[in-house]
Structure 1
Amino acid sequence: MLIIGERINSTRKSIDRAVRAKDADFIREEALNQVNAGAHMLDVNCGTLDAQEEPAVMEWLVQTVQEIAGVPLCIDSPNYKALAAGLSVHRGKAMINSISGETERYKKVLPLVKEYGASVVALCMDDRGIPANKNQALEVGVKLVNDLLDAGVPVDDIYFDPLVRSVATNPETVVETLRLMEEMASRFSGLHFVSGLSNVSFGLPERRHLNRAYVVLSMASGLDAVIVDPLDSTLMALVYATEALLNKDRFCMQYIRCYHQGKLKA
């Protein structure tokens, strides 16, 4: 399971302040805490800044995090100029968050994917928005993945995000998302699946319980990357336990190692 730490995101007030003040020490501490908690990659987002400022700040943010963290980054922005700026200084193979079937976004992001050999989060949406049901989502997802493959992007570099919605307003969303991932996996061998957690529980109390349950269910249906807060030790323990139960952790070696490292404590 690829754990992508979500905490360096300027929608969080503390990160927004640190980014605007160029508080490198604060950013580095956030990065190290996530890596020490088990993150394999860190998402970096400074999208609350003005669109003209964002590229330069993204460049600074990528350099600041990579100086200390020693892991690749998921460069996250709707602003393709900010993506390009972050990629230009990134060391190693980056992930781009994100591309979609939206015409303009696809045209602007695809050249960056190819130029930098980056992996990419592929959002299941097009010019019509987020699909209204599973059948439409399958249509959108198949076209998007086929377009990326036809453009020369290796399947191993594509992380399909089914864009789960809130179960509070879309009661069928999780069941349909699980089925969508299963159908996409049957059509595209080697395709990766990624998801964030915030949408599924939006508008409900004690959201962490729903988020954690969603991760476990999704892993059983093929989810192999997740954008999360790795400082949620209960969620991380559930990920390790689920990998063991799904035979993705042979003889439970990772689970045992995490136990000895104290990572399974409540």
Structure 2
Amino acid sequence: MFTIIGERINTTLNQVKDAVEKRDADYITNDVKKQTQHGATYIDVNAGARIGHEEEDIKWLLEVVQKATDLPLCIDSPDPAILEMAYDLVEKTPMVNSISLEKDRFDPMVSFLKGKECRIIALCMDDSGMPKSAEDVISRAKAIVKELENIGMKRNDIFVDPLIQPLSVDGNNGPIAMEAVKTIMQDLEGVHTTGGLSNISYGLPQRKIINRIFLVMMMANGFDSAIMDPLDKDIMAALKTGEMIAGHDNFCMNFIKSVRSGEIKA
């Protein structure tokens, strides 16, 4: 089944940032409950936007979010020390976002991950910068999966992020992502692929339709997870329809249930 990492509890979003500043637990609770009800698999929690306040903010968020849902969390920070602190506060086996091949990030993250029970998002980034081709993404994916396996992580717990980049910057970024995902899923059997779906449409009009079509095309190439908004009814409809067409919905029951409930409409 497709893994949906609910992206909405992120202080880069103004409403979330305001709620965190004001310690508005009701706003966060209501949003998390909606994500849970609408099909999220994990709730992503990111408190990195308020510089100098990340530690206190994520501690507060983790307490509020875990009271609002039984779902596991994706703890999300660029700071390995914050991730390690947050890991000790979660009640269920989390997903950790993220590790990359950048030395300053890789070394402390490997030290942190050894012996930990968690899933990990592995970014196809190294010290040379963002990947410029599908070959770059694939080679980095193979390298980071090998390193994670060396410390005992199982492929089923590794979610490779090909680093989806905007079409507005380079029209080849869509084909690069699709080619990379297809090869990763074939050559690294057992791993998952995920990423920030909406990155593809940055800077373009009518972003939601771009995201929907891109999701289905990525799924056709093996993409089995996304960091996305489960409250977007249209993209969830595209996801459930794509799952059915790909043969991942026995007797089409999930699709039929969603139509009957009004979640999928023509």
For Structure 1 versus Structure 2, the TM-score category normalised by the shorter chain is over 0.9
Q: Spell out the pairing of 1:39-188 with structure 2 (5 A cutoff).
A: 39-51=40-52, 53-188=53-188
The amino acid of 2:46's aligned partner reads N
May I ask how many residue pairs the two structures share in their alignment?
265
Shift of 1:135: 1.7
Instruction: Report the counterpart of residue 5 of structure 2 in structure 1.
Output: 4
The amino acid of 2:123's aligned partner reads L
Asked whether the equivalents of residues 194 and 227 of structure 1 are also in contact (C-alpha less than 8 Å), the reply is: yes
The amino acid of 1:221's aligned partner reads N
Alpha-carbon distance in 2 for matches of 1:35, 1:241? 20
The amino acid of 1:218's aligned partner reads M
Alpha-carbon distance in 1 for matches of 2:224, 2:9? 21
Task: In structure 1, list runs of 5 or more residues that go unmatched.
Answer: none
Stretch deviating more after TM superposition (124-133 or 252-261): 252-261
The percent identity for this pair of structures is: 35
Alpha-carbon distance in 2 for matches of 1:115, 1:64? 27
TM-score normalised per structure 1: 0.95
Task: In structure 2, list runs of 5 or more residues that go unmatched.
Answer: none
Asked whether the equivalents of residues 96 and 113 of structure 1 are also in contact (C-alpha less than 8 Å), the reply is: no
Shift of the 197–132 alpha-carbon distance from structure 1 to 2, 3 Å rule, reads same
Alpha-carbon distance in 2 for matches of 1:234, 1:134? 29
Please list every run of at least 4 consecutive aligned residues from structure 1 whose deviation after the TM superposition is greater than 4 angstroms: none
Deviations 1:24-58 (A, max 9, x none): 1111011011111211211111101224x312321
TM-score normalised per structure 2: 0.95
Asked whether the equivalents of residues 56 and 82 of structure 1 are also in contact (C-alpha less than 8 Å), the reply is: no
Alpha-carbon distance in 2 for matches of 1:89, 1:205? 40
Shift of the 112–258 alpha-carbon distance from structure 1 to 2, 3 Å rule, reads farther
Shift of 1:188: 1.2
Shift of the 189–18 alpha-carbon distance from structure 1 to 2, 3 Å rule, reads same
Instruction: Report the counterpart of residue 34 of structure 1 in structure 2.
Output: 35
Alpha-carbon distance in 2 for matches of 1:163, 1:263? 30
Output the aligned Cα RMSD.
Answer: 1.3
Instruction: Report the counterpart of residue 207 of structure 1 in structure 2.
Output: 207
Shift of 1:115: 4.2
